[in-house]
Amino acid sequence: MKALLSRLAQFGPSGLIGLAVVLFWVVAALAGPLLLSRTGADGGGAVFGPASAAHWLGTDYLGRDMLARVIEGTRYTVGVAFMATLLASGTGTTLALLAAASGRWTDGALSRGLDTLTAIPSKMFALLMVAGFGSSVPMLIGTAAIIYVPGAYRIARSLAVNINALDYVTVARTRGEGTLYVMLREILPNIAGPMLADLGLRFVYVVLLLASLSFLGLGVQPPSADWGSLVRENIGALAEGGASVIAPALAIASLTIAVNLVIDNLPGKSARERGVH
């Protein structure tokens, strides 16, 4: 407990606020649907009803309670984005470690191959994948992961190449350590901090990509919905400033801003910026 409190104390006020918002949405994704009453969640209320004691965030275009819809959408927005980000960062980091530790030919082949993928605009690639293979949740996760693997690879490779040139890595190779040992024991621990920060930023990018696809009708499909889908479904309430369209938009904004606040206040950030290891 003392260690946890000591680590939390290293966050600034804005970092703690961001952390609280992120934890709120994580809890909402994991337990929110189980805690909410189903009353009004299946329709029957007034269409685009205002916020009230019965419906804190108003109702949607079918009269369903928007609080319940936003909480249910959290599972898809946070869950799909987290899985895609984890897959993208994990794959990119693994390929970067392999490129840095294996030599020039492997490095060149991986770098040129991923540069080719980077040349395709991300939105266009996502639209082609969804149009060709459908809009299931696994397809959305895979598509978002493929789009952001090159970015994670380039960041991890730039770090890994610098670490690979240091003396202690040379010593490890001299005493006969293999490529896998160098990757996992010498390079990976020294790039883990920056890559965790990059994972947070990449999570924000994935959230925004998935929200934009859902807004176009190509993301999570009804009856399920993520926050982007909720904005699209209730766009008719925008002229009156209805809570049904504002609430999911604010949810997207709050999550992305909170993640950025956490990243900006990660313990040890100032030391890393000064080059202290």
Single-letter code of the amino acid located at 115:
D
Distance CA 160, CA 98 (A): 9
Domains and CATH numbers, the chain: 59-266 (1.10.3720.10)
Distance CA 83, CA 46 (A): 36
pLDDT for position 271: 43
The whole-number average pLDDT for the span 204-213 is 92
Helical ranges in the chain per DSSP H: 2-9, 13-35, 66-102, 104-118, 122-133, 137-164, 167-174, 179-181, 188-215, 227-233, 243-264, 269-273
Residue 235 pLDDT grade (very low, low, confident, very high; cuts 50, 70, 90): confident
Residues found in the chain: 277
pLDDT for position 42: 59
Instruction: Indicate the SS3 state at residue 185.
Output: helix
pLDDT for position 63: 84
Residue 86 pLDDT grade (very low, low, confident, very high; cuts 50, 70, 90): very high
Residue 274 pLDDT grade (very low, low, confident, very high; cuts 50, 70, 90): very low
The pLDDT tens digits of the residues spanning 160-171 come to: 999 988 888 888
The pLDDT tens digits of the residues spanning 93-118 come to: 999 999 988 878 888 899 998 988 88
The pLDDT tens digits of the residues spanning 221-233 come to: 888 889 999 999 8
Distance CA 32, CA 68 (A): 8
Q: Which residue has the tokens 């009453």?
A: 37
What are residue 59's DSSP bridge partners? 65
pLDDT for position 116: 87
Distance CA 245, CA 50 (A): 11
- Write the CB contacts of 82 (distance below 8 Å, at least 6 apart in sequence): 203
The residue among 259 and 268 whose pLDDT is bigger is 259
